[in-house]
Amino acid sequence: MSVDFNYPQGDDYLILRHDRIQKVSVIFVCCSAILLSLLVYSSYLYFNVYAFTTNFDVAIKSILLNDFNTTHVYVNLKLLLRNPSMFTVNVTYIKVNLALNGKLICTMKRFSYYNPIIIHSFSNLTLNFSRFCSKKLVEIKDSAVWRANILIVIKGLPISSSVTITRIAEVANQ
């Protein structure tokens, strides 16, 4: 007894083999193109997020002091946030440690997780912070140097769920 499986013979075998090689080649080229495009897009996003975190800038716009009573001073701080990137981001937390001539006078916070502060791409935003501080900590001299250590938590960037940025802003003789 012999079993005939009808395997292709001769020229039919070569045509089928050529078709398989062609199909495998097309699948390989398509998969390579897809993976290469994903790699390029991921690199593009990664470097833009890196550029955002290095170029995001915070500056002190103004500091106003008002005498409230004999023991306290009302401090009004205006910060300028600059977003030089193509991303629109949400600021969910800001903490400002304000120091005068190297001495910490007050800490100001803004928590806005459920109602975030939106900074659109290529734009600036001014934020106001106000706080009562002890009058004995605020001694203004001719060479007054204000320094703000600022911690900002930002959401809305691709690749990461949140980014924490720390900046230092200084201004003299306000």
Q: Which residue has the higher pLDDT, 174 or 51?
A: 51
Has residue 19 got a pLDDT over 90? no
**Average per-residue pLDDT in the chain?**
85
pLDDT of residue 21: 81
Average pLDDT over residues 123-140: 85
pLDDT of residue 32: 96
pLDDT of residue 93: 92
What is the rounded distance in angstroms from the CA atom of residue 39 to the CA atom of residue 34? 9
pLDDT of residue 151: 93
pLDDT of residue 92: 92
pLDDT digits (tens, 9 = 90+) for 147-161: 999 999 999 888 777
Predicted structure pTM score: 0.74
87: closest CA among 168, 35, 165?
165
* pLDDT-based confidence at residue 126 (cuts at 50, 70, 90): very high
* pLDDT-based confidence at residue 9 (cuts at 50, 70, 90): low
Element spanning 28, H or E:
helix 11-55
- Domain 56-172 listed as CATH 3.30.460.80: no
Has residue 10 got a pLDDT over 80? no
Per-residue exposure over 60-83, b if at least 16 CB sit within 10 Å of its own CB, e if not: beebeeeeeeeebbebebebebeb
Q: Which residue has the higher pLDDT, 46 or 2?
A: 46
